[in-house]
Amino acid sequence: MAQVQVPFQPPLSGPNGAANAGGNQFVTTSLYVGDLEWNVSDSQLYDLFSQLGQVVSVRVCRDLSSRRSLGYAYVNYSNTQEAARALDVLNFTPLNGKAIRIMYSHRDPSIRKSGTANIFIKNLDKAIDNKALQETFSAFGNILSCKIATDPSGQSKGYGFVQFDSEDAAQNAIDKLNGMLLNDKQVFVGPFLRKQERETAMNKTKFNNVFVKNLSELTTEEDLKKIFGEYGTITSVVVMRDGDGKSKCFGFVNFENADDAAQSVDALNGAKFDEKEWYVGKAQKKYEREIELKGRFEQNMKEAVDKFQGVNLYVKNLDDSISDDKLRELFSEFGTISSCKVMRDPNGISRGSGFVAFSTPEEASRALSEMNGKMIVSKPLYVALAQRKEDRKARLQAQFSQMRPVAIAPSVAPRMPMYPPGGPGLGQQIFYGQGPPAIIPPQVLPIFLA
DNA sequence: GCTGAGCGA
């Protein structure tokens, strides 16, 4: 008889199973562990999770070819109670300086993708950590995932996310906590909205002034008056022109009535006149436009930085005689170089360091291993993956925390309740408990950071 | 001021 390979399937009664969609009376033994720092290893996870029960298997998922960590792992226990306790106790434990985030394994991505029952919280006191957030919101229902946004050093950015397993729980949390005081700060709690959704929500605000661009050079105020006049009474119309009276191909139409303005936008945005497709929208105030442009600029910068992740090499100990071209020549055998630069001081003297970006991470990692330590002119070259500036600090701290002994408290005393039974009253302060942390803080203080 | 990302041997 032919051998049939049976793929691993978690029990159907658990959160993985269709039989238990949304229910929480069953739990499984399979945990998804996400938000891992790049260097977190199987054995590190094994050591940590073994302290709460019998671990059957641990695996950090890795890219098949590069073996790079994908930033998540699976930990399987032999029984459900141990898994449940591990999730409870170990969730948000820092590993290599970064808090891990544990969920029950749920391979069907439909819930994750739907983004339902997902809420956003802002104006959070910086002292409120993942655990405090979890405890505060768990009063309203079962939490699938929850997290405080942090900068690379782990400092709270003052906002966070909670995803529940039901819309009711999410709505209830919003109703009860929005506008409440948490640690003396009034928090905003609302449904999570993607950027796009938020913008369209914002644009529902009333306006009278309409912006129109991509006009033909021949389009006049009279033309606009006639076309927009179909939708209501116009109080002013202008086509912007340069000093010579030449059209800048954009203008403004102000309506007496905001509903008419909105109607004209709906009807005319994207319409074609004289071969030109018009953009028609709410006219932005100068400051609104500045905010949008600034946001877009920062977004572009971020994307540019992301694009270089894993493909950009930092080189140092370069001989002063090495130029951009020479540097490119040295690395060109490993692949396609998308950019290459020797850093120089204001007098044009080489700083002895530079960057070489390849088109793929594979090329970059081969160049790294082949070129690091190679004698160039008179000195051995140092080659490493270039890091983002903000990530450097985090990386140093990760190394630092790796030296700390980590131990699990034998049992965890309950934290103080967040607020009296029945939930907080309007305007009532919510207090955070001072229960002991799940992880005993380091007993040995390592040497200070450079 | 600040609106993620995420599932295998």
Tell me, what's the pLDDT at A58? Answer: 97
Instruction: Lowest mean pLDDT of A16-25, A58-67, A331-340, name the range.
Output: A16-25
Tell me, what's the pLDDT at A397? Answer: 53
Q: Where does A27-107 sit in CATH, by number?
A: 3.30.70.330
User: What's the pTM value of the predicted model, to 2 decimals?
Assistant: 0.58
Quick check: do A27-107 and A307-390 share a fold?
yes
Strand B near-CB residues (< 7 Å), A 16-35: 30, 32, 34
Tell me, what's the pLDDT at A391? Answer: 56
Instruction: Work out the pLDDT band at A430, boundaries 50, 70, 90.
Output: very low
Q: Where does A307-390 sit in CATH, by number?
A: 3.30.70.330
Tell me, what's the pLDDT at A327? Answer: 94
H-type alpha helices, A324-424: 324-331, 361-371, 389-402
The third-level CATH classification (topology) of the domain covering A114-204 is: Alpha-Beta Plaits (3.30.70)
Query: What is the length of chain A?
Result: 450
Instruction: Identify the residue with better confidence: A11 or A363.
Output: A363
Q: Is the pLDDT of residue A183 over 80?
A: yes
Instruction: Work out the pLDDT band at A290, boundaries 50, 70, 90.
Output: confident
Tell me, what's the pLDDT at A206? Answer: 83
Task: State, as a whole number of angstroms, the distance between the CA of A87 and the C1' of B9.
Answer: 21
Strand B near-CB residues (< 7 Å), A 97-116: 103-107, 109, 112-113, 115
Domain boundaries, chain A: 27-107, 114-204, 206-283, 307-390
Tell me, what's the pLDDT at A294? Answer: 73
In whole angstroms, give the CA distance from residue A428 to residue A171: 20
Mean confidence (pLDDT) of chain A: 81
3-state SS assignment for residue A202: helix
Tell me, what's the pLDDT at A390? Answer: 55
Instruction: Work out the pLDDT band at A427, boundaries 50, 70, 90.
Output: very low
Tell me, what's the pLDDT at A387? Answer: 75
Where do the DSSP E strands lie in A192-348?
A: 209-213, 234-241, 247-255, 272-273, 276-277, 279-282, 312-316, 337-344
Q: Is the pLDDT of residue A132 over 70?
A: yes
Q: Which candidate, A83, A72, A76, places its Cα nearest to that of A9?
A: A76
Tell me, what's the pLDDT at A393? Answer: 54
C-alpha dihedral over A272, A276, A282, A288, to 10 degrees? 160
Strand B near-CB residues (< 7 Å), A 145-174: 145-147, 149, 157-159, 161-163
For A2-65, the DSSP string reads ----------TTSTTSGGGTT--S---SEEEEES--TT--HHHHHHHHHTTS-EEEEEEEE-TT
Q: Where does A206-283 sit in CATH, by number?
A: 3.30.70.330
Average pLDDT of the segment spanning A225-238: 95
**Residue whose Cα is closest to the C1' of B9:** A8
| Contact status, residue A58 vs residue A75, Cβ threshold 8 Å | yes
Tell me, what's the pLDDT at A37? Answer: 95
Instruction: Work out the pLDDT band at A226, boundaries 50, 70, 90.
Output: very high
Q: What percent of chain A has pLDDT over 90?
A: 61
Strand B near-CB residues (< 7 Å), A 293-352: 295
φ, ψ of residue A118 to 5 degrees: the values are -100, 125
Average pLDDT of the segment spanning A288-308: 70
Q: Is the CB of A412 under 7 A from strand B?
A: no
Q: Is the CB of A373 under 7 A from strand B?
A: no
The tens digit of pLDDT for each residue in A246-278 reads: 999 999 999 999 989 989 998 999 999 999 999
In whole angstroms, give the CA distance from residue A61 to residue A81: 25
Structure tokens at A95: 């590993």
The tens digit of pLDDT for each residue in A56-95 reads: 999 999 999 899 999 999 999 999 999 999 999 999 999 9
Task: State, as a whole number of angstroms, the distance between the CA of A6 and the C1' of B3.
Answer: 41
